[in-house]
Chain A
Amino acid sequence: MTRQSLWLAALLMTCLGTLAAAQSPQTAPATDAEGPTAAAPGFEGLVRALPDGNFDEVEALVSAIAETGDERATGVLEALASGDLHRLKSNEAVVIVREIGGDDHAFDALSGESYGEIPRRGSSAIRVNNSLRRVVAAAVGTLTLRHPDPARRLEAAQAAFRAPDAAQTDALSAALDAETDPDVRTALAEAVAVATLTAGTAPVPTQLDAIATIAARGDGVALSVLTPLTGSDAPEIASAASEAVDRIERVRQMWSAAQNVWFGLSLGSVLLLAAIGLAITFGVMGVINMAHGELVMLGAYTTFFVQEIIRNAAPALFDWSLLIAAPLAFLVAGAMGVAIERGCVRFLYGRPLETLLATWGVSLILQQTVRSIFGPNNREVGNPSWMSGAFEIGQMTITYNRLWILVFALAVFAILLFVMKRTPVGLQMRAVTQNRAMAANMGIRTGWVDAMTFGLGAGIAGLAGVALSQIDNVSPNLGQSYIVDSFMVVVFGGAGNIWGTLAGAFSIGIANKFLEPWSGAVLAKILVLVFIILFIQKRPRGLFAVRGRAVDG
């Protein structure tokens, strides 16, 4: 043994030791863990005994090694599991074999001392089977419980929870006593509880405590642990378990209701966006705009177009693409709206049914134009980074894109409300709505106001398109799929009332999502449609009808 090779080995130990068990099973024993501690008595003996046992004996040895808590144990056990723990034929030493530069090098399992390069047949691997590998994995898990890094300890505790092993109870309890980090303590306590319950041999009060610990988790995992216990032979345990199961079920039902409300709000926000522009043209102006869905589609295609340009010209701006697209979409759809109003709707005021037909014609033309230009297939619109992903509240998952769309819908609603109630344009719009002739006499250019109102409604449809491009397929048929729904929202909420549209959108959205679990998506939609049809019979002017004195509405 040269001085040089000893130095090399020492260097290796220190470098790899820091990486320790986390990185690969072929690392050397950790030597720098919480300073040098005295090897537990028997560790070396146990390791030396490994090559001689049959599988059962080795399993026992592995458990014993883990129990020693020796810091070298992880490396040895991991090497064993990966088949790198060998016995040298020359001196019977137990070594860890590692490949360095294509050659096998042996390192003493106990001292870490290098034996240098060894010939192919100079050692024999200690054989392992799958059952042994499992035992080793569990043992390593226990050992990791004492790892200096709390994150690793937490991971280990959670692993022990997922694969409960009665034999580990003591090791877990010991780790729990030594633990200081609160998160890890909770995880460990739960792991101990599961191990206790799996064994089922502990005294009843201990088991009851364990049930309480698990029940505190309150999730599906706790449920799957506790449910088998409701059939336990001991009556106290069975009753405690079933009580806990009931409680968890109740909490879970609450959460799933909350989740449904969230889904409903999310659907509602989409409906609101799609319908609110319609609420202006239909509700305020009394004009049926069947091309509304196509204006939404134009907004979505504007987003696509903006993203294409950004992808090719300035990829760094991609996260801003929606913010750039939104005003553009408003302008594109709004301009188209003004064009529709000036080009066709204005000849048809007072004849709502004819307007419906003419705008349907416009919608066909817009649809076919987009189909001719962009093709009939779905176009890919990307999510900016701040709209991807999700977070959890309790047992609810909330995706960022849905959340932003909700925020966006409410913001659009608020802005619209502001425009209608607080700006001169809004004042004129309301004046024309209430009494066209009088408004004209007061000097309001009603034709201009009509065009602006229609343009505003159309522009908002364009904004809806920006939002919908994030969650729906951008295709020429995009608008078609929303037109019936948005009409339902406006009719349900009461035409001429923007607040009614808000209430209508969210109630339809939530009703839909609560029906879905027991009826399926399509049937839920049908039921909601039927409900609205019946509702209209009861209140022909919607939820919040604008009261008037005219006989023919």
Chain B
Amino acid sequence: MTSLIDRRMGIFLAGLFILTVAVPVGNLGLEDRLVPSYVVSLLGKYLCYALLAVALDLVWGYCGILSLGHGAFFALGGYAMGMHLMREIGDRGVYANPDLPDFMVFLNYDALPWYWLGFDMFWFACIMVLLAPGILAFVFGWFAFRSRVTGVYLSIITQAMTYALMLAFFRNEMGFGGNNGLTDFKDVLGFDLQSDATRAGLFVLSALALAAGLLIAKAITNSKLGKVLIAVRDAESRTRFIGYRVEHYKLFVFTVSAMMAGVAGALYTPQVGIINPGEFSPANSIEIVIWVALGGRGTLVGAALGAILVAAAQTLLTGWFPELWIFALGALFIFVTIFMPQGVLGVIEGTFRRRPPTRDLTAAREARP
């Protein structure tokens, strides 16, 4: 049993702590604004991505479940928070309707749909941020793991899940704002979302959530349960034959991971100011996987690092050469999977861990049905 905060985790958390202190101070505390406000929100967004990557690494890196639908959990959390923020607008919307958000007035709704009830209360929204992705993951996982849908098949149906949700959320009849999603947020708990102090606050919250997510994931993987997860990843059938209820372990970690992704989404929405069905697109979910792969699968810290690296590269490259970004991203996918299976962290640390048996090239070639 290794300690919760090993060297790798310690360095990352220390860096995160310095960032958490330095950025708000640089933004608010100094006269000449060392850190511009938009950078604060941008960094906050990266931290949300990092938390999302940690969530995916928990299931993919430690349990071998390659979910191509984690964007859906992220977006559901974002929508749950977005719904609260919509209700917070109250009668300050364009149509000044105290109960109905603007898009509902526009679409001739008479009353709030039942599933919008309760979202005027912040605590309720916070619970839903966990429950909505959690329940979806639980139900989906319960079906999938019980009937032993594994590997590529699981990846494909998780992709189908997020695709179906995207189509559903694009429909105006769903009552989630259709194509435009939820936007024009004013404030949260009375704090103006445009003000620098609120932005800095959200940034700090994101950093705390990331740290908490990392520690929870680390605690899970360090525990005895975590060992079983790794066993499932490397030899699922063998683990089952030994007597472990593989599907229970998978279901647990899948649900926890989905909730983590939901929290990331909930923090993402107020910082970006919009949540729309595009977040459900299968392409987004695949991008999360490359963050994890780049940083280093099964390292948690690496996943967070990978997310931040890719997101920062995207911001910079799309600013400098808009055409080039997609090429760079595509090349990244190919390069990382072929030449850097250990990820950046693996390369940096120079520690070449033995590959798990199922991923051994020649062995797998022989074993293929």
Contact check: which of A286, A358, A368, A534 meets B326 at CB < 8 Å?
A368
Contact check: which of A358, A480, A526, A552 meets B167 at CB < 8 Å?
A526
CB of B144 within 8 A of CB of A348, answer no
Contact check: which of B150, B152, B338, B358 meets A288 at CB < 8 Å?
B152
Binds B, one of A32-40, A115-123, A162-170, A484-492: A484-492
CB of A533 within 8 A of CB of B333, answer no
CB of B156 within 8 A of CB of A491, answer yes
CB interface residues, A 517-543, toward B, < 8 Å? 522-523, 525-526, 529-530, 532-534, 536-538, 540
Q: Is the interface of A mostly helix, strand, loop or mixed?
A: helix
Interface size on B, residues (CB 8 A): 56
CB interface residues, B 302-334, toward A, < 8 Å? 323, 326-327, 329-334
Contact check: which of B140, B149, B160, B336 meets A487 at CB < 8 Å?
B160
- B256 CB, min distance to chain A CBs, angstroms: 21
Complex CA–CA separation, A286 to B151 (angstroms): 11
CB interface residues, A 118-153, toward B, < 8 Å? none
CB of A344 within 8 A of CB of B338, answer yes
Complex CA–CA separation, A73 to B335 (angstroms): 87
Q: Does B286 contact A (CB under 8 A)?
A: yes
- Interfacial chain A residues near B170, Cβ < 8 Å: 522
A496 closest partner in B (C-beta): B369
CB interface residues, B 224-253, toward A, < 8 Å? 236-237
CB interface residues, A 360-376, toward B, < 8 Å? 360-365, 367-369, 372
- B60 CB, min distance to chain A CBs, angstroms: 8
Contact check: which of A363, A523, A537 meets B144 at CB < 8 Å?
A537
- Interfacial chain B residues near A487, Cβ < 8 Å: 156, 159-160
A287-301 Cβ-contact flags toward B at 8 Å (1 or 0): 010100000000000
CB of A364 within 8 A of CB of B237, answer no
Q: Given A364-B333, A526-B168, A537–B366 Cβ distance below 8 Å?
A: no
Q: Does A437 contact B (CB under 8 A)?
A: yes
- Interfacial chain B residues near A368, Cβ < 8 Å: 323, 326-327, 330
A336-377 Cβ-contact flags toward B at 8 Å (1 or 0): 000000001001111111111110111111011100100000
Contact check: which of A523, A530, A536, A551 meets B237 at CB < 8 Å?
A551
Complex CA–CA separation, A59 to B163 (angstroms): 67
CB of B160 within 8 A of CB of A365, answer no
CB interface residues, A 450-497, toward B, < 8 Å? 480, 483-484, 487-488, 491
CB of B164 within 8 A of CB of A529, answer yes
Interface-centre pick from A363, A365, A372, A530 (highest chain B CB count, 10 A)? A365
CB of B366 within 8 A of CB of A357, answer no
A538 closest partner in B (C-beta): B147
Q: Does A389 contact B (CB under 8 A)?
A: no
CB of A353 within 8 A of CB of B66, answer yes
CB of B171 within 8 A of CB of A362, answer no
Q: Does A182 contact B (CB under 8 A)?
A: no
- Interfacial chain A residues near B28, Cβ < 8 Å: none
Q: Does B123 contact A (CB under 8 A)?
A: no
Contact check: which of B152, B164, B289 meets A526 at CB < 8 Å?
B164
- A552 CB, min distance to chain B CBs, angstroms: 6
- B66 CB, min distance to chain A CBs, angstroms: 5
Contact check: which of B151, B157, B283, B334 meets A362 at CB < 8 Å?
B334
A351 closest partner in B (C-beta): B359
A350 closest partner in B (C-beta): B364
- Interfacial chain A residues near B163, Cβ < 8 Å: 484, 529
Q: Does B30 contact A (CB under 8 A)?
A: no
Q: Given A353-B66, A522-B167, A525-B167, A548–B161 Cβ distance below 8 Å?
A: no
- Interfacial chain A residues near B327, Cβ < 8 Å: 364-365, 368-369
Complex CA–CA separation, A352 to B367 (angstroms): 13
Contact check: which of A367, A484, A537, A552 meets B160 at CB < 8 Å?
A484
- A244 CB, min distance to chain B CBs, angstroms: 38
CB interface residues, A 408-424, toward B, < 8 Å? none
- Interfacial chain A residues near B147, Cβ < 8 Å: 536-538, 540
A365 closest partner in B (C-beta): B330
- Interfacial chain B residues near A530, Cβ < 8 Å: 164
- B278 CB, min distance to chain A CBs, angstroms: 13
- Subset of 23 A-B contacts with CB under 8 Å: A350-B364, A351-B359, A351-B361, A354-B337, A357-B286, A357-B336, A360-B286, A361-B330, A361-B337, A364-B330, A365-B330, A436-B366, A484-B159, A484-B163, A491-B156, A491-B157, A523-B171, A526-B167, A526-B168, A530-B164, A532-B160, A540-B150, A550-B367
Given contacts A356-B152, A362-B333, 9 further A-B contacts (CB under 8 A): A348-B338, A351-B361, A357-B293, A358-B333, A484-B160, A487-B156, A530-B164, A540-B149, A553-B369
